[in-house]
């Protein structure tokens, strides 16, 4: 199982730019986070790199993830994208490079971009490779093409309102680690009465309960936060143990509510 490869938890950087991104990552590293998640599309790789340089954490203790956007999936463009990411981040390699979204309408063949990603790994641009927002069908195809045997994770949206069980279980059955993004449903979990009740039982917060629920499913969480106190609380959430009854109560919140659903998204599993 690939779970030992990707540190739990990570710090997400989606929507953070410039000084906000620098401050968030700097704080997270000081709190003890060792997994930082960024992407070419986030337009913050230089800021993330600056935070890493300012940190006293040795590079070999950090796990750095970036992603290739869907408009750069042709072989040469993909390699160039990762070379650019590494340059912007100020490192000589990333630890994990992901395909951010499958090619819309399968315009670029899966074999081309998974093959290019595997080649980037062979070139030393990244230590590991993976995918993001891949459906069961996309994942099966990715695993079947040359280079697909190196895929270690599928990063997908997971939170109490979108449990994503079918896809998550399929990944895990294939030995693929699930990384869950938006685990707090962009803050919506804070206002959910069931989560508030469970949180009160544990002297915790609804956000901590949501993170503990995702992590209990053997999913790596990458919450995003700019506030040190929230970052600390998110780390502490991983020490929270929920009962089977509490896990089951949280399951009842699953309504298939998808937050990340752009017009180029694949046909999701239901």
Residue 42: active-site member: yes
Does residue 203 lie within any of the structural domains?
no
pLDDT of residue 2: 41
107-140 as b/e, with b when 16 or more CB fall inside 10 Å?
Answer: ebebeebbbbbbbbbeeebbebbbbbbbbbebbe
Render pLDDT for 28-52 as a digit per residue (tens, 0 to 9): 999 999 999 999 999 999 999 999 9
Give the integer Cα–Cα distance in Å for 217 and 172.
10
**Average pLDDT value for residue range 176-185:** 98
Q: What rounded mean pLDDT belongs to the chain?
A: 97
Best CA proximity match to 161, nearest among 185, 145, 178? 185
Q: Give residue 270's pLDDT.
A: 83
Q: Is residue 140 part of a domain?
A: yes
Q: Please give the pLDDT value at position 3.
A: 45
On the question of pLDDT at 4 being above 80, the answer is no
Q: Is 11 helix (H, G, I), strand (E, B) or coil?
A: strand
CATH of residue 37 = 3.20.20.100
Checking if the pLDDT of 226 tops 50, the result is yes
| pLDDT tens figures, 59-76 | 999 999 999 999 999 999
Considering the domain boundaries, does residue 256 fall inside one?
no
Asked, for residue 35, whether it belongs to a domain, the answer is yes
Q: Which domain holds residue 144?
A: 2-184
The whole-number average pLDDT for the span 204-213 is 98
Q: Is the residue at 44 inside a domain?
A: yes
Angstrom distances, CA of residue 47 to CA of 14, 83, 91, 250, 260: 12, 17, 13, 36, 24
Largest Cα separation within the chain, whole Å, is: 54
- pLDDT at residue 104 tops 70: yes
Tokens for 171, please give them: 């990944």
């956000």: which residue's tokens? 207
Give the total number of structural domains in the chain. 1
Q: What is the pLDDT of residues 79-90, one digit of tens each?
A: 999 999 999 999
Q: What pLDDT is stored for residue 96 in this prediction?
A: 98
Among the listed residues 33, 42, 113, 181, the single catalytic one is 42
| Residue 16 belongs to a domain | yes
């Amino acid at each position: 199982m690939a779970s030992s490869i990707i540190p739990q938890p990570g710090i997400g950087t989606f929507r953070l730019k410039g000084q906000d991104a620098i401050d968030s990552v700097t704080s997270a590293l000081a709190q003890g986070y060792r997994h930082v998640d960024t992407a070419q599309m986030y337009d913050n790789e230089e800021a993330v790199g600056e935070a890493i340089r300012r940190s006293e954490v040795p590079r070999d203790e950090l796990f750095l993830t970036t992603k290739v956007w869907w408009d750069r999936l042709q072989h040469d463009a993909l390699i160039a994208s990762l070379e650019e990411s590494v340059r912007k981040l100020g490192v000589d390699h990333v630890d994990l490079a992901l395909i951010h979204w499958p090619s819309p309408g399968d315009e670029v063949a899966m074999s081309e971009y998974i093959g290019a990603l595997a080649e980037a790994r062979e070139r030393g641009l990244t230590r590991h490779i993976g995918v993001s927002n891949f459906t069961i069908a996309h994942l099966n195809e990715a695993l079947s093409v040359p280079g697909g045997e190196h895929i270690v994770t599928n990063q997908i949206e997971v939170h109490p309102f979108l449990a994503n069980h079918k896809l998550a279980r399929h990944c895990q059955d294939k030995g693929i680690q699930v990384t869950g993004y938006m685990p707090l449903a962009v803050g919506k979990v804070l206002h959910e009465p069931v989560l508030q009740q469970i949180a009160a039982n544990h002297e915790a917060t609804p956000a901590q309960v949501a993170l503990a629920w995702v992590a209990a499913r053997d999913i790596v969480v990458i919450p995003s936060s700019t506030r040190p106190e929230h970052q600390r609380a998110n780390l502490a959430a991983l020490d929270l143990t929920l009962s089977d009854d509490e896990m089951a109560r949280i399951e009842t919140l699953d309504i298939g509510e998808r937050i990340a659903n752009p017009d180029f998204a694949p046909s999701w599993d239901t």
